[in-house]
Structure 1
Amino acid sequence: MLHRVEGIVIRSMDYGEGNAIITLCTENAGKVGVLVRGAKKVKSRHAALIQLFTVGDFVFFRNNGGLGTLNAGEITKSHHPLREDLIKAAYASYACELLDRVLHDDETGSFWFRQLSACLDAIEEGKEPGVIINVYEMKVLQAAGYGPQLDECVVCGLEKPDDQLRVSARLGGVLCRSCRHNDPPALEISARALKLLRLFARMDLTRLGNVDVKASSQVELKQTMRALMDEQLGLKLKSQNFLDQLDKYNI
């Protein structure tokens, strides 16, 4: 059966001699794998289509699910600037790998497609990539059913606790002062950083405006979101390891 989809290349790997297999996050068909014959050969007309972050219209044959075979394709946005900049490429790769690991094959992908597209656009435009990724991670957690409880204590239900707060990655939300003993390793968080996390929970990346977050708050946000992602999803991502190396050397 012939399929025509709009998709973003979230993974690309060599296959055999001169071929490639790409994984697409699509607007209406979820996540699909497509074989692109001859893509790695010199002067291949499909060489640009298999590049990570590429957005395009893809036409492929696929029978009864499984891997498709590309028939034709047209690039609508290359995202070339993302591949030229080490920092941007690192964050964009993380966004794609995270989605690849979370999104199941053929799972309805409209929400995921929009959020990833907005994430890549924002990073390419030069907005603070760490903050963009934190918002994106929040959307991933929420869509996967692990969104943190931020407006009330996750243990006692106290609404809008704002005094000596901590965020428990294990319990999945904020702890008020009286309930901190339920998870001693929970991370301390400032009122400013918590306010931003609550904003992230309500925010849609497709409507993201200018991003201006103080460096100290960025550190808190990164630590908190990393703890939540590790505890709630438990994924080991190669792109995350690379981002850790960039942080280690302050790149």
Structure 2
Amino acid sequence: MLYRAEGIVIRSMDYGEGNKIITLCTEKSGKVGVLVRGAKKIKSRHAALTQPFTYGEYVFFRNGTGLGTLNAGEIIESHHILREDLMKAAYSSYACELLDRVLQDEETGAFWFHQLKACLTALQKDKDLQIIINLYEMKILQAAGYGPELDVCISCGQERADEEMLVSPRLGGVLCRRCKHLDPPAMSVSPKTLKLLRVFARLDLRRLGNIDVKDATKAELKVVMRALMDMQLGLRLKSQNFLDQMDKYDI
């Protein structure tokens, strides 16, 4: 059966001597694998369609739920800027790998697709890369069913002053100091960071404007989001390791 779908290339791998297999995140069909014959050949008319982060329209044959075979395609947005800048490429790779690991095959992908599309669009512009990724991480957590409770204590259900709230990555939300004994390693965060986390929880990436965040708040936010991601999803991503190395050497 012939399918036509708009999709974003979240993974591209060599297959055989001259072919590639790409994984697309699509709006209506979720995650789809497509074989692109001859894509590695210099004169291939489909080579550009297999580049990571490429957003395009793909036409492919597919029987059942197996691997599709590309018939034709057209690039809507190449996102070549993301591949040409080391930092943008690193963050874009992380965004794609994260979605690839969390989104199951055939799972309805409309929300995931639009958030990834918005994330890559924002990364291509001169906006704060870390803020974009932290917001994207929050959307991934929420879509996967692990969105943190940030308004009331996750234990007693009481609303407290921000100064009395801790963040518990293990419990998945904020914990008041009276309930700290339930998770002694719960993290102290500034009210500014807590407010920003709440903004992330409510904001759609497609509506992201320019957000000016102080370095101290950004550093704290990064630690909190990494802890939430590690504790709630428990993924080990190659792209995350690369970002860690870039931080280590301050690239």
> Which band: TM-score by shorter chain?
over 0.9
In structure 1, runs of 5+ residues without a counterpart are: none
Q: 1:146 and 1:157 mapped to 2: Cα distance?
A: 18
Q: Point out 4+ residue stretches in structure 1 off by more than 6 angstroms.
A: none
Give SS of 1:8's match: strand
CA contact (8 A) 1:165 1:190 kept: no
CA contact (8 A) 1:152 1:161 kept: no
Does 2:214 align with 1:187? no
Q: 1:106 and 1:158 mapped to 2: Cα distance?
A: 39
- Corresponding letter in the other structure for 2:35: L
Q: Identity of paired residues, percent? A: 72
Q: 2:209 and 2:32 mapped to 1: Cα distance?
A: 31
Q: 2:166 and 2:214 mapped to 1: Cα distance?
A: 20
The size of the alignment, in residue pairs, is 251
Instruction: State the match for 1:19 in structure 2.
Output: 19
- Corresponding letter in the other structure for 1:129: L
Instruction: State the match for 2:137 in structure 1.
Output: 137
Q: 1:47 and 1:205 mapped to 2: Cα distance?
A: 30
Q: How do 1:1-251 residues align onto structure 2 when only pairs under 5 Å count?
A: 1-251=1-251
Q: Deviations over 1:213-232 (max 9, x none)?
A: 11111111110010000000
Q: 2:30 and 2:161 mapped to 1: Cα distance?
A: 39
Q: 2:55 and 2:163 mapped to 1: Cα distance?
A: 45
TM-score by length of 1: 0.99
TM-score by length of 2: 0.99
Give SS of 1:49's match: helix
Give SS of 1:250's match: coil
How far did 1:177 drift? 1.5
What's the Cα RMSD here?
0.8
How far did 1:88 drift? 0.4
Q: 1:15 and 1:237 mapped to 2: Cα distance?
A: 22
Q: 1:152 and 1:161 mapped to 2: Cα distance?
A: 10
In structure 2, runs of 5+ residues without a counterpart are: none
Give SS of 2:95's match: helix
How far did 1:160 drift? 4.2
